[in-house]
């Protein structure tokens, strides 16, 4: 446990100390674009914060190789041929370069997608891939070389873009990914104490680094932000989080069924979805929303979940904290289910709690409608309740919209 804390501390310290230097560099090279109509921030803010995050990633991983217990896990020949650290540094470097070029010069969405696929492919090339997928019951779906390549790349690319899509408010992406990493870390610790599987210990090490990166960056990025992570950081966070999913999933199904409660083999699949529920939901609804209006799924708009929370009356910070709470609720509820023997009704209760939370978040809008005469007037565009196209939204949108160039 002490080693994981030290790894997170090193990653946090290096990230925190590098951010001011990266900020000066971003300003010098002009990676500080003018405020757009859809942006939430009102003054030009430098991007490229992901460069500091990458420095924290490299420092945290290299420090981890000096910790006896963790180093043994990361060098496990059954995981990426013992080259887990090199795989993450190489793939992380490629995705960081891709994000850097996009934040600085702008990049065609499909070229950027190609960079994401290449980074995911690099992980597979090093041997960091899904070997099989846990299924309900006692069986597991074994993957051949083609399937494991395709599915692993798909998981990584979806995670990258899910984090990128949710990166629209100061501190939002870093906080959500940090909470997701803590949930994944807690789950891996639970498994490792009962199984002693080195793959699980590697997951704990990777998530420790990820927690440190987010913790080191947040003081500079929480509202009002001094720097944005940009696509450079958002895509890096998505890739590292996806890597933790890849390492935690292919474990011995027979051992897992003996150590975990009545959700034995589904949990490795359920937990990544739970901790990423908000980014994935935002990604899905954005694609559906944009294509339904005949727009490209990569076109920027102002219809993300965090924009809707702002529109119904929540402040910038309150919106971020609400989304933190949602991520914590879903992620740690599933982790709790893996530790304590609970009936399936608990998950039904979680869904009900989420709906209640959604209702409470809508209260500012309801008050606005009541004060405006029940929605018949005086409530503005929101009170009228008409269906709007994304481009009809008023100025003040997201800070970084993924794949928008």
In terms of Cβ atoms closer than 10 Å to its own Cβ (0-12, 13-18, 19+), residue 295 is middle
**Nearest alpha carbon to residue 301 among 285, 313, 317:** 285
* Distance separating alpha carbons of residues 66 and 287, to the nearest angstrom: 43
SS (H, E, C) 138-171: CCEEECCHHHHHHHHHHHHHHHHHHHHHHCCCCC
Asked if residue 290 is part of any domain, the answer here is: no
Inter-CA distances, 270 with 246, 351, 395, Å: 13, 14, 37
Q: What is the pLDDT of residues 283-300, one digit of tens each?
A: 667 677 667 777 766 666
Residue length of the chain: 405
Residue 210 has pLDDT above 60, yes or no: yes
Report whether 164 belongs to an annotated binding site.
Answer: yes
Q: What is the mean pLDDT of the chain?
A: 76
Whether residue 279 lies inside any domain: the answer is: no
Rounded to whole angstroms, how far apart are CA atoms 145 and 130?
10
| Number of domains observed in the structure of the chain | 1
Name the pLDDT band for 342 (thresholds 50, 70, 90). Answer: low
Lowest mean pLDDT among 3-12, 29-38, 337-346, 392-401: 392-401
Decide if 95 is inside a domain.
Answer: yes
Percent above pLDDT 70 for the chain: 62
47 assigned to some structural domain: yes
Q: Locate 23 and state its tokens.
A: 């900020």
Comparing 213 with 142, the larger pLDDT belongs to: 213
The residue ranking higher by pLDDT, 146 or 336, is 146
392 is an annotated ligand-binding site residue: no
pLDDT in tens, 240-266: 999 988 887 655 545 444 444 444 445
Sign of the Cα pseudo-torsion (286, 289, 292, 294, in order): negative
With respect to residue 153, please indicate whether it lies within any of the assigned structural domains. yes
Residue 403 lies in a domain: no
What confidence category does residue 358 fall into, taking pLDDT thresholds of 50, 70 and 90?
low
* pLDDT value of residue 391: 42
Give the residue-averaged pLDDT of 184-192: 82
User: pLDDT at residue 94 above 70?
Assistant: yes
Mean pLDDT within 55-79: 91
- What value does the mean pLDDT take over residues 43-47? 82
Within-domain flag for 247: yes
Provide the whole-model pTM: 0.77
Q: Is residue 162 included in any domain, yes or no?
A: yes
In this structure, of 51-55, 220-224, 269-273, the range with the lowest mean pLDDT score is: 269-273
User: In Å, how far are 153, 154, 160, 280, 391 from 157, measured between CA atoms?
Assistant: 6, 5, 5, 12, 26
For the chain, the maximum distance between any two Cα atoms, rounded to a whole number of angstroms, is: 68
Q: Can you give the pLDDT at residue 267?
A: 55
Instruction: State which residues form the domain around 61.
Output: 1-34+42-260
């Amino acid at each position: 446990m002490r080693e994981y804390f030290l790894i997170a501390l090193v990653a946090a310290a290096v990230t925190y100390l590098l951010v001011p230097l990266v900020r000066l560099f971003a300003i010098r090279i002009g990676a500080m674009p003018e405020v757009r109509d859809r942006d939430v921030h009102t003054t030009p803010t430098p991007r490229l914060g992901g460069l500091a995050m990458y420095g924290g990633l490299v420092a945290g991983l290299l420090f981890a190789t000096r910790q006896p217990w963790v180093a043994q896990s990361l060098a496990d020949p059954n995981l990426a041929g013992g080259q887990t650290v090199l795989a993450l540094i190489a793939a992380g470097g490629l995705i960081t370069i891709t994000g850097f070029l996009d934040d600085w010069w702008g990049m065609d969405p499909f070229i950027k997608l190609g960079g994401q696929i290449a980074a995911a492919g690099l992980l597979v090339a090093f041997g960091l891939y899904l070997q099989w997928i846990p299924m309900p019951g006692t069986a597991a779906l074994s993957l051949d070389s083609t399937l494991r390549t395709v599915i692993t790349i798909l998981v990584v690319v979806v995670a990258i873009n899910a984090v990128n899509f949710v990166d629209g408010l100061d501190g939002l992406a870093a906080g959500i990914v940090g909470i997701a990493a803590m949930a994944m870390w807690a789950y891996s610790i639970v498994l490792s104490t009962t199984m002693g599987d080195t793959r699980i210990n590697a997951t704990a090490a990777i998530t420790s680094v990820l927690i440190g990166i987010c913790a080191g960056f947040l003081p500079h990025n929480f509202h009002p932000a001094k720097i944005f992570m940009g696509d450079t950081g958002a895509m890096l966070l998505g890739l590292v989080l996806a890597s933790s999913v890849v390492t935690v999933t292919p474990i011995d199904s027979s051992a897992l069924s003996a150590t975990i409660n009545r959700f034995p083999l589904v949990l490795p699949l359920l937990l990544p979805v739970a901790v990423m529920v908000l980014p994935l939901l935002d990604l899905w609804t954005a694609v559906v929303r944009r294509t339904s209006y005949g727009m490209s799924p990569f076109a920027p708009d102002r219809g993300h979940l965090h924009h809707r929370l702002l529109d119904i009356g929540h402040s910038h910070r309150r919106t971020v904290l609400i989304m933190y709470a949602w991520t914590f609720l879903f992620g740690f509820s599933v982790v709790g289910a893996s530790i304590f023997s609970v009936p399936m009704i608990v998950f039904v209760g979680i869904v009900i709690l989420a709906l209640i939370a959604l209702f409470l978040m809508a209260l500012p809008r309801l008050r606005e409608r009541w004060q405006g005469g029940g929605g018949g007037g005086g409530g503005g565009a929101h009170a009228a309740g008409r269906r709007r196209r994304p481009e009809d939204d008023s100025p003040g949108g997201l800070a970084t919209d993924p794949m928008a160039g």
